[in-house]
A = this chain, B = another copy of it.
Amino acid sequence: MAWNTDLRWRLPLACLLLQVALVVLFGVFVRYDPDADAHWVAEKRSRNVSSDLDNEFYYRYPSFQDVHVMIFVGFGFLMTFLQRYGYGAVGFNFLLAAFGIQWALLMQGWFHSYRQGYIFVSVENLINADFCVGSVCVAFGAVLGKVSPVQLLLMTLFQVTLFAVNEFILLSLLAVKDAGGSMTIHTFGAYFGLTVTWILQRPNLHQSRQRQGAVYHSDLFAMIGTLFLWMYWPSFNSAVSNHGDAQHRAAINTYCSLAACVLTTVALSSALHKKGKLDMVHIQNATLAGGVAVGTAAEMMLMPYGALIVGFICGIISTLGFVYLTPFLESRLRIQDTCGIHNLHGMPGIVGAIVGAVTAACASSAVYGEEGLAHAFDFDSAKANWNASLQGKFQAAGLFVSLAMALVGGILVGLILKLPVWGQAADENCFEDAIYWEMPESTAFHPEDPTLKPSEP
């Protein structure tokens, strides 16, 4: 199809309109949290706090920076594995995340930090905005190389909105615990993205197949993304947990789960190759499934061996998914999942939700202590008449809500994105930076690509 991929007016207009709207909304609504406001001196006195260290900043800022790296370098470079879509992977991820965090500050702010007509932001809001955008980065992985930046901005606008609603239902209405976002971020993001790419299915995508593989150095760029995601995932899962033991425990559990996941991924990758060779796609992706799958339970008393078991299982599931399920989804269900997010975020996210529900349901005061149990699940305040078993049931409900929101939302957003006016590339021009980027003149190492059609029809 001869769609017009010249974005000269559409992309600038989209960016500027969205940014102007954000400025206006921030002007009306966003103010500093007391911990970030110049009245802090008085605030300290009124809270009877003596040290500046009790400012929320010092509890969460290092974790925030790690999460920030995961969103921009981690997700951005993870997707640079394609031989001719490195600019798009890093650059569009940068664009959608920069827009998304602003919109998420508003959407999540209205639901969770809204008082007296204002949204009060602190470092915790920044982390949550990054989390919200993380789910958009996940969904981006499904449509990578097949959509225009205008479509990505639209998808981000809608997905952040739906994310905030879903998160509000889970965290506030169902009182679910999901500090690392197995449900809210990964399950929601993955099934939303898969639904969108299913709606946007491209019948002749095989015409771009020669650009769907990696080259040697693009795989190394992708490993930068993989490793920063892997290394900082303990910060991701512990960033918004309760102060003290919960943050500490979440980091330990995530560390354990991820380590185990690497070994089973390598085992399966080698076992499934006819000559026992390893596949970089598995190493780049399935090694991370352990982080996804302890997202909900990491702050709970999962125990280190419990975390190892979760990682063990998810390395296997995820690698099997890449080998058997992705080709099946593409050929039979026409779900063209560029980065295999179903294997890295979809299935491990569901596993994470189930692990979280079971771990919560099994929580006992023998393991947590009376006070510890009440503190961990807020049974000491808002949910005074709850018990662990009930918590587990609500956790399970959260999974189904997330899946439903993802499917319904994905269909609606997919249909909007399907309109042939957003500058998407033709099927035979997918996975190609030259469509949306000014390319260096001397592309010495890629002398010519005879299959590439002229980028503007």
Instruction: Map CB proximity to B onto A147-183 as digits: 1 under 8 Å, 0 otherwise.
Output: 0010000000000000000000000000000000000
Q: Please indicate the chain B residues that have their CB under 8 angstroms from the CB of A35 in the complex.
A: 244-245, 248
Q: Please indicate the chain B residues that have their CB under 8 angstroms from the CB of A420 in the complex.
A: none
Binding site for B on A (CB under 8 A): 6-13, 15-16, 18-20, 22-23, 26-27, 30-32, 35-42, 44, 51-59, 61-66, 68-69, 72-73, 76-77, 80, 83, 86-87, 90-91, 94-95, 98-99, 101-102, 105, 121-123, 126, 149, 210, 213-221, 223-224, 227-228, 230-232, 234-235, 243-249, 251-252, 255-256, 258-264, 266-268, 270-271, 273-280, 283, 287, 301, 303-305, 308-309, 312, 367-369, 371-373, 375-376, 436-446, 456
Which of B90, B215, B437 touches A443 (beta carbons < 8 Å)? Answer: B215
Q: Give the one of A40, A61, A244, A446 with max B CB within 10 A.
A: A244
Which of B16, B83, B369 touches A39 (beta carbons < 8 Å)? Answer: B369
Given contacts A65-B232, A86-B217, 18 further A-B contacts (CB under 8 A): A8-B274, A16-B267, A22-B260, A26-B256, A32-B303, A35-B245, A38-B369, A38-B373, A39-B245, A55-B245, A72-B231, A77-B224, A86-B220, A87-B219, A90-B227, A94-B283, A102-B256, A280-B437
Which of B218, B256, B275, B442 touches A215 (beta carbons < 8 Å)? Answer: B442
A23 lies within 8 A of B440 (CB): no
Q: Please indicate the chain B residues that have their CB under 8 angstroms from the CB of A80 in the complex.
A: 220
The CA-CA distance from A448 to B437 in the complex, in Å, is 27
> How many copies of this kind of chain does the complex include?
3
Q: Please indicate the chain B residues that have their CB under 8 angstroms from the CB of A223 in the complex.
A: 76, 90-91
The CA-CA distance from A9 to B439 in the complex, in Å, is 41
The CA-CA distance from A248 to B244 in the complex, in Å, is 20
B220 lies within 8 A of A18 (CB): no
* Main SS at interface, chain A: helix
A266 lies within 8 A of B95 (CB): yes
The CA-CA distance from A277 to B122 in the complex, in Å, is 36
The CA-CA distance from A320 to B104 in the complex, in Å, is 29
A263-B95 contact, Cβ under 8 Å, with A123-B252, A245-B55, A445-B445 = yes
A12-B271 contact, Cβ under 8 Å, with A61-B62, A210-B442 = yes
Tell me, rounded to whole Å, the shortest Cβ–Cβ distance linking A455 to chain B: 8
Tell me, rounded to whole Å, the shortest Cβ–Cβ distance linking A36 to chain B: 4
Which of B36, B268, B276, B312 touches A245 (beta carbons < 8 Å)? Answer: B36
Tell me, rounded to whole Å, the shortest Cβ–Cβ distance linking A88 to chain B: 9
Q: Give the one of A11, A215, A245 with max B CB within 10 A.
A: A245
A277 lies within 8 A of B437 (CB): yes
B305 lies within 8 A of A216 (CB): no
A262 lies within 8 A of B7 (CB): no
- Closest residue to A316 on the B side, CB-wise? B16
The CA-CA distance from A69 to B456 in the complex, in Å, is 40
